[in-house]
Structure formats: C-alpha cells, structure tokens
Chain A
Amino acid sequence: MNLKDEIRNFVVETFLFGDAGGLTDDSSFIREGIIDSTGILQLVAYLQERYQVAVADDELIPENLDSVQRVAAFVEGKRNGASCAGSEG
C-alpha cells in the first residue's frame, strides 16, 4: 500500500468509521467536517508514530495537513528531508 492509501485508510477508519463516502484526496478535513481540532492531534500522533517524522508546532497549518494529498506530500517531504510549509518559522 502506498503512503497516500495508508493515510486515507487511517482517516477513513479513525474519523469516518470505515465509510469513505465522498472523501477524495483533496477533501478539506476541516471544511467538510471530517476531522476536528482533536482529530488533527490524533492524525499528527499517527504520523509521528507510523512514519517516525517529527511535526513541529509551526507546521500545524492547513497547507500541510488539511487533505489526504497534503498530508502525503508533507510526510513525503519530511522523509526526503525537504523543508515543508511553515518550517522556516
């Protein structure tokens, strides 16, 4: 399973109770009511544990985390050592 599928699975299982419904790679987690602020913390905890990436406080912005696509790109960037939105502080 690729990174994006894994993240999508986590979101579907954790926040949508297994029902992927209309979730697309670009669905906004917040605007579409998929995840609330508590859920974002769960998502971040998952990313840190599953992919062993550190998520800094100033990286908690929608550009990094607000869709399956964005999360996948964020994690990918972290793994490749690229700088992510917000990391310049």
Chain B
Amino acid sequence: MELQGVHSFLESSAAARPDKVALVHDGERVSYRLLNRAASRLAAFLVQRGVFPGDRVVIMLSNGVKYVASYYGVLKAGAVAVPLNVETGQETLSRLLEELQPVGIILEQGGGFLLQQLPLAPPSVRFVLAADASFPVCEPRLVWGWDEALGGEELPAGTRAVPAESLASIIYTSGSTGQPKGVMLSHRNIVSNTRSIVEYLHLTESDIQMVVLPFFYVMGKSLLNTHIAVGGTVVINNNFAYTASVIRQMAEEGVTGFSGVPSTYAYLLHRSPLASFRDQLPSLRYCTQAGGHMPREIKERLLQVLPPHTRLFIMYGATEAAARLTYVEPERLPEKLASIGKAIPGVTVRVLNPQGEELAQGECGELVASGDNIMLGYWNDPEATARVLDRNGYHTGDLGYRDADGYLYVTGRKDHLLKVGGHRIDPQEVEEVLMSSGFLLEVVVLGLDDPLLGKKLVALAVPLGSDPSDRTLLSFCHARLPRHKVPGEIRLVAALPKYPSGKIDRASCLSLCS
C-alpha cells in the first residue's frame, strides 16, 4: 500500500463517508466532512501565516474537536504537530519552547497565562491561536481567535507534498526518568503503526472508541489515528475522574472499544459501577491496555468482570515506537497472563545481551525493537538518541525474556532497578506480590536513600476498602518473597500521584516519602 501522510487518514475517510460521525464530545457530534473542512481551513490559515514544511506548531489543547482539527490541520500544512500537556508548568514550558523554536502556538484558556506572558515565547513564534477566544481585528497581529482563523478558504488536499520520511510530530515522553524528551515521529512511523494496530484489532468503520486518555500522550494519539483511519467514531470524555459518567456514556453511545493504562483499569474495577453495567454494554467488543505493567490480579479480575463478549488485549509499546510494539491475542491471555505477547505486524522485538547478541529462550536481556514505527530520534538531543538507537534498533530499556512459544515477558526497567544492600531488586516484582494480596487499589515500591543499605525499600499503597494493617501486608510479603525483597516499610496513602496519562509518577511518589 502506498504510504501517505498521517492526515490522509482523515481525508480518505471524509471522502468515503462525509456524513458519518467522526467525533462525539460534550453533546457535539461532528461529521467527517466538517472535521476535514476545519482541518483544511486551519491548514490554510497556517500557510497564510508563513508556516513552512518542517516548522513546529505547538498544540496545547485538551481533548476535543479543536484539538483534532488542529492536529490534522498542522499536518496538512506540512508542519510538525507538537502536542504538549495543557498543564505543563511555566518553567518546563519555557524550556520546551526554547528548544522547539515553534512558529506558532495553539492554546486555550488553560494555557491563557502564556497569552499574558508572551515574552516567554521565543522570537520564532509568529502567531498564537487562542482556540476559545476571539480578538478585535488589528494589524500587525500576533494573537488570533479560532473563528477568525477558520473563517477563510480551505487548503486544497495535496497542496503541501509530505514525504513519508518527513517529521510529522514530536511527542514528549512523560519524563519519568529525568527531563521529558521530544520523540520525533515521521509520517511513515505513525502511518505504519496505525495500519498495524488497525490490522490486529480488526478495526472497522463500525467501531466506536471511548477515549479518556489525552491525545498529547502517544496512546491517545494512536486511538485517534486508528479510528479516523477506518472511518470509525471517537467518543471523547475528559471526565474519567467521574468513572460512573464514563461508563454510562459507553452504554448510551454503544461504544465498541475502550482503552486505558493500568490505573485506568484499577479505577474501573474498584471505583466504578462497571460490574453493574455488565449487561448494558452489549456492543463493547474489546478493551485494550498499554502504558506499563498491569498487575496480574487486575487482569484476572477484569476477565471476570468484563462482559463475556468483550475481548481484553494486553499490549506493550513506547512513545519511541509511535505507540505499539507487541500484544497478546485475547485467546491466549489466560495461559500467557504475565506476557506482553508477540510483536505486532511489521515489528520485530528481540532479546539482546549488552553486546547486541540475541539470547536464547528463557534468558533475560534487553528488549530491542525494529520496524517502520521506530522514531527518527529525540529532538535536539543526538546523545540521548545514540544511547537508544543503533543498528539493532530501539533499545527499550525494558528487561525481559522470551518463552518457548515465542511470547515476550518484561521483568522490569533497567533504570528502575534498586540496589538494596548487595542485591539488585526490581520493584515490579514486589509490587506484583503486594497487589496479589487483594487489599490494594494500587501500589508503588520505591528506594529511599539509606546510609547502610544504599537504598531502602518503601511501599506506598492505596488500600481498597478498610485499611489493612502494614503487619498484614508485610507478613503477606514475607510468605512470598525472600527477606531482602520485603519492603522495610509500607505507608498507606489515599492516592498515588499520576501523570495526565494515568501512569504513576514515581518521582512525585518519591518526594511524598521524603
């Protein structure tokens, strides 16, 4: 199949089914025709502002119709879409704008402080588009309102040629291990991964996806692209904090797919009416999970609680892989519950030793991935790029092995390993044991500096119902783990700090402890 730009997913679907509902958000239902028109008008606006192919345009919008129009509009103009977390702090934002040197910024009220502090923006910024405001006409101008910007003609499709290798998007990692890094994804990276996901999830135009993950996070982005590619419908709900409202909307809209990270499912299982809505989700064809290791206990419970016709896909990926690397076929999940599965179509994942040699089954090494989806590198950071990309592919930083059936397992992250006394301990193993107690909603195991041991293991745990005593939890651990892997202390807390993606923010957890 000829490789086109990411935005051609939208253009093709708009041509094939213009009146189909592409997006549902807060009572608004937007057809493919209208969505594509908005994106094309935005592209024309960008071209008029002097945006050239390769220029960066920052998008600081929460999930919504304007986000989607902006994302595809920027791509249609041949520019690079750089979605940022709407809650990026001023200091980080200042640093990111400096390194991105964007030509423009699209923001909403949440980013309004930027409007007041335009000196923050580097001189490269030639326009600011305020998505939820309008401004009186005055020239020359820096700030534009949404309606003014989209009031003109559409940019005809294909005006800007977009080579497959050209940069489409820069997506920032959550920065769980140091500063966030800008992952450069080409049109080829995103298009190939999108097609691959569509293939293994068997997505069609009948699919209706509930999206609670932010689009600026790579998994949210791939939910958008895959469903726009097949002409399906994306239901946006930014209220996951109120889980009951999400489940109700899933029932009302006849949602066929739901996706989340581990904490999403922990909340759905334990803090939502999912079980009581089991009979009201007849269309829910599948659920997908990615974004880190999900404890076995949650997977088992999900298999019991989800409607019998709902297939659960456990998946694995990375921002650097344009989202997805592997998945477990739902039919094999019960017997491969701890596995991340096998590589998706078009991707190869191997287990290598530090010398780059492939290891035999059962031997533990680093997971290294290759395929058309692997990023071009990190923005403005050739050293960090050289650390993870080489002739073998992308070094994920995840440690793991392959079983006799070819299924892959992640045992932990290289940079999460804790040195306690003379032992190297992977917190994931300890977290898994604590979760299997059935007393906890979620848990994180951290290493606190200790003058004697180097690091001391401390668990921060959120209890499910009535608080279990730390004695109960510790004796549970003692029965299942060698002594050196049992946390020295278990602290019960009401909640764990998270990134907007829902992933646990280990650095903030650590600062809670100190």
Chain A interface residues (CB < 8 Å from chain B): 29-31, 33, 35-42, 44-46, 56-62, 65-66, 86, 89
**Given contacts A42-B494, A57-B271, A58-B273, is CB(A35)–CB(B243) below 8 Å?**
no
Q: Is the CB of A36 within 8 A of B242?
A: no
B residues 206-255 in Cβ contact with A at 8 Å: 238-245, 248
The answer to the question of B500 belonging to the interface, with a C-beta cut-off of 8 Å to chain A, is yes
Q: A57-B272, A60-B272 are in contact. Are A38 and B497 (CB under 8 A)?
A: yes
Q: Is B498 a contact partner of A36 (Cβ separation < 8 A)?
A: yes
Cα distance, A42 to B493, chains bound together (Å): 9
* CB < 8 Å neighbour of A36 from B110, B241, B462, B494: B241
Residue of A nearest to B502 (CB): A37
Decide if B146 is an interface residue (CB 8 Å cutoff): no
Please state if A62 and B245 are interface contacts (CB–CB under 8 Å): yes
Which of A30, A42, A46, A89 interacts with B276 by CB under 8 Å?
Answer: A89
Q: List 30 A-B contacts (CB under 8 A).
A: A33-B86, A36-B498, A37-B267, A38-B495, A38-B496, A38-B497, A39-B241, A40-B241, A40-B242, A41-B267, A41-B271, A41-B494, A41-B495, A42-B494, A42-B495, A46-B494, A57-B244, A57-B272, A57-B276, A58-B276, A59-B244, A60-B244, A60-B245, A60-B273, A61-B244, A61-B248, A62-B239, A62-B242, A62-B245, A89-B273
CB contact between B243 and one of A31, A38, A60, A66 (< 8 Å): that residue: A60
Q: A59 to B273, alpha carbons, bound, how many Å? A: 9
Task: Give bound CA distance, A89 to B275, whole Å.
Answer: 12
Chain A proximity mask over B485-503: 1 for CB below 8 Å, otherwise 0: 0000000001111101010
Instruction: Using CB atoms, name the residue of chain A closest to B497.
Output: A38
- CB under 8 Å from chain A, chain B span 84-112: 86-87, 110
User: For residues 266 through 286 of chain B, which have their beta carbon under 8 Å from a beta carbon of chain A?
Assistant: 267, 271-273, 276
On chain B, the number of residues with a Cβ less than 8 Å from chain A's Cβ atoms is 25
CB distance from A36 to the nearest CB of B (A): 6
**Extra contacts besides A37-B498, A59-B244 (13): CB < 8 Å:** A30-B238, A31-B238, A36-B500, A37-B240, A38-B496, A41-B267, A41-B494, A46-B494, A57-B244, A57-B271, A58-B276, A61-B244, A61-B248
Smallest CB-CB separation from B62: which chain A residue? Answer: A31
Query: How far apart sit A41 and B267, CA to CA, in the bound complex (Å)?
Result: 9
B-to-A contact residues, CB < 8 Å: 86-87, 110, 238-245, 248, 267, 271-273, 276, 462, 494-498, 500, 502
Taking a contact as CB atoms under 8 Å apart, the answer to whether A57 and B243 are in contact is: yes
Measured between alpha carbons, how far is A31 from B86 in the docked complex, in Å? 12
* In contact, A65 and B242 (Cβ under 8 angstroms): yes
Considering the chains assembled together, what is the distance between the CA atoms of A66 and B276 in angstroms? 23
Kindly report which residue of chain B lies nearest to residue A32, judged by CB atoms. B110
Cα–Cα distance between A86 and B496 once the two chains are bound (Å): 27
- How far apart sit A30 and B500, CA to CA, in the bound complex (Å)? 12
Measured between beta carbons, the chain B residues less than 8 angstroms from A33 are 86-87, 110
9 pairs of A and B residues whose beta carbons are closest in the complex: A37-B241, A58-B273, A38-B495, A40-B241, A60-B244, A57-B273, A42-B494, A61-B245, A45-B494
